[in-house]
A and B are shown apart, each in its own frame.
Chain A
């Protein structure tokens, strides 16, 4: 009985490792390809094992594409989206959670409803709006529609609801106002959730494709996900180069994820409501 359990365990572990190997293979293969010379990538002798460490295509990618501009656009827009979204959502969630004012219920209903509206279905009218505002091919157009992330408000509200009421009364008795309460008490109590929501918002903004693709049509305003699709046009079918650019584009968030794995994992779980 114990013997069969053991064998079962070993078999399951082997299956797990095989599945993991299959899953990581595309990334492994992209890496191997990017480190080969272009002529070798498409030759018959190019095996599955890395046998070359050639950085030419990486250097070429950085020098001959506008990768650095795209990095800058991605970092700038994603950071602004994250900060503005988290701060405005936090303030709004605080008011909904802790204060009583006319329109409160309606506001929360609207937030919940907007959670169900697919932003993708609004692109036509959002594009027209951005065009009317003269923002096409600027950061403003990339940023503005991405500032609405209803889940941030919903999660903040849940966490603010859970803060003991005595705390609030004590601060109010001491003459503290609502802003003091929010920024000196509620925010410090919820740094963990703030970090989680910031991570989720940042990853979402960094990886956004459809919307930036519509409003950033000149190479100088493109973000990483949009920009790297231009590379194939520049390089043609030069796979080592295309893979280098793809990996460079994926690098910042991938590295950040590997460094802060636990935090990202928890952030995803919290924001989808399976863990509070």
Chain B
């Protein structure tokens, strides 16, 4: 009995030694900051230094802050501009790429995927140059349509759609890959059987491809939803939230309040709202995936 207990103890100690390095880092830089940000949101702390407990004051202030609603609206607007379009575009591209064979397929796929591995600042610098109001290579095309050149990042109507286009160009390759993996997982016998039954390519898509691709589609949609809610980099680098706050988003508000206005407590309250939004979406995603997996 004693020997058994000793063995058990040894086993547990070895297990704890295996998890210790991860757990130590996790507790320090993830779990502690998670509780800390919640605690901070109830104080009037500056970024560095102590503050006092102010209860729900930050949240009261937040829900009366017009900039908060503007940011929230812009976050949602950006999600609308990106999530479904990028999913649709990625599906279209994946279907096209999937028809190609061998080296050509690899080459074309690389073309679509390459932007995804670029640092965001490289992406924004290239697009800022392409859309430069004086010398930008895209401006003649804009002129052809609306009759004049357009400083896209300084126009309240154009700023968010343009950032959405840049974002789709940058991140779409990831979605294309997921769809291609999904397409490859569809057994080819299904298409053969459908062809034998005389199904047209349209019918094959509607009856075979689309239903079997649905789990991947929901995965792409939810991953995109979460990703696009976390918008910061592109907006900060291309428009700084302007003009007239038309591209101001929640994470930018966190940044401004904490790092420029020295309002650590208030910034934490904003961060917490974003935190809850993303958690809700993630839990939904998790449930969706579970349901998808059971089918």
How many CB-defined contacts (below 8 Å) exist between A and B?
259
In the complex, which residues of chain B have a beta carbon less than 8 angstroms from the beta carbon of A187? Answer: none
C-alpha gap A102/B15 in the complex (Å):
10
Q: What per-residue 1/0 map shows which CB atoms of B19-63 lie under 8 Å from chain A? A: 101110110111111101100100000011000000000000000
- Determine the distance from Cα of A226 to Cα of B237 in the docked complex, in whole angstroms: 10
B135 at the interface (CB under 8 A from A): yes
The interface size of chain A toward B, counting residues with CB under 8 Å, comes to 94
Stretch of B68-76, B91-99, B143-151, B152-160 on the interface side = B91-99
A128 touches B36 (CB 8 A): yes
CA gap between A173 and B286 in the complex, in Å: 40
Question: For the complex, what is the distance from the CA of A220 to the CA of B43, rounded to whole Å?
Answer: 34
- B12 near A23 with CB under 8 A, answer no
A23 cross-chain contacts in B, Cβ below 8 A: 111-112, 115, 169
**Is B219 interfacial (CB 8 A cutoff)?**
yes
Contacts of B34 in A (CB 8 A): 117, 122, 125
A29 to B127, CA, bound (A): 10
Given the interface contacts A16-B100, A92-B19, A274-B219, does A117 sit within 8 Å of B275 by beta carbon? yes
B13 — nearest CB in chain A belongs to which residue?
A: A101
Q: Which of B93, B112, B137 contacts A29 (CB 8 A)?
A: B137
Interface presence of A59 (CB below 8 A):
no
Contact A148 B30 (CB under 8 A): yes
Query: Which of B1-23 touch A at CB < 8 Å?
Result: 11-12, 14-16, 18-19, 21-23
- Which residues of chain B are within 8 angstroms of A229 by Cβ–Cβ distance? 121, 125, 237
Q: A16-B96, A265-B177 are in contact. Are A258 and B110 (CB under 8 A)?
A: yes
Determine whether the beta carbon of B11 is less than 8 Å from that of A228: no
Any B CB within 8 A of the CB of A185: no
Query: Which candidate, A162-170, A190-198, A204-212, is the interface stretch facing chain B?
Result: A204-212
- Check B169–A148 contact: CB distance below 8 A: no
User: With the chains together, A272 CA to B173 CA distance in Å?
Assistant: 13
**Interface segment out of the listed A49-57, A61-69, A248-256:** A248-256
Contact assessment for B126 and A27 in the assembled complex, using a CB-CB cutoff below 8 Å? yes
Q: Which chain A residues in 74-128 approach chain B with CB under 8 Å?
A: 84, 87-89, 91-92, 94-96, 99-102, 104, 107, 110, 114-128
Is A120 within 8 A of B106, CB to CB? no
Taking a contact as CB atoms closer than 8 A, the residue among A13, A125, A179, A232 that contacts B40 in the complex is: A125
Which of B12, B99, B117, B216 touches A257 (beta carbons < 8 Å)?
Answer: B117
SS class, residues of chain A in contact with chain B: helix
- State whether A128 and B121 are in contact (beta carbons under 8 Å apart), knowing that A24-B114, A148-B25 are contacts in the complex: no
Cβ A148 vs Cβ B26 within 8 A: yes
In-complex Cβ contact of A144 among B25, B109, B185, B201 (8 A): B25
The interface residues of chain A lying within 8 Å CB-to-CB of B251 are 120, 210
Task: Evaluate contact between A118 and B230: CB separation under 8 angstroms.
Answer: yes
B64 within 8 A of A: no
User: Which residues of the other chain, A, contact B286 by a CB distance below 8 angstroms?
Assistant: 116
Q: Is there an interface contact between A29 and B130, defined as CB atoms closer than 8 Å?
A: yes
Known: A269-B177, A272-B223. A20 touches B23 (CB 8 A): no
B79 at the interface (CB under 8 A from A): no
A9, A91, A153: most-surrounded residue (chain B CB, <10 A): A91
Interface residue ranges, A against B (CB under 8 Å)? 8-9, 12-13, 15-17, 19-20, 23-24, 26-27, 29-30, 33, 41-42, 48, 84, 87-89, 91-92, 94-96, 99-102, 104, 107, 110, 114-129, 131, 144-145, 147-148, 153, 177-179, 182, 203, 206-207, 209-210, 214, 224-226, 228-229, 232, 239, 242-243, 246-247, 249-250, 253-254, 257-258, 261-262, 264-265, 268-269, 272-275
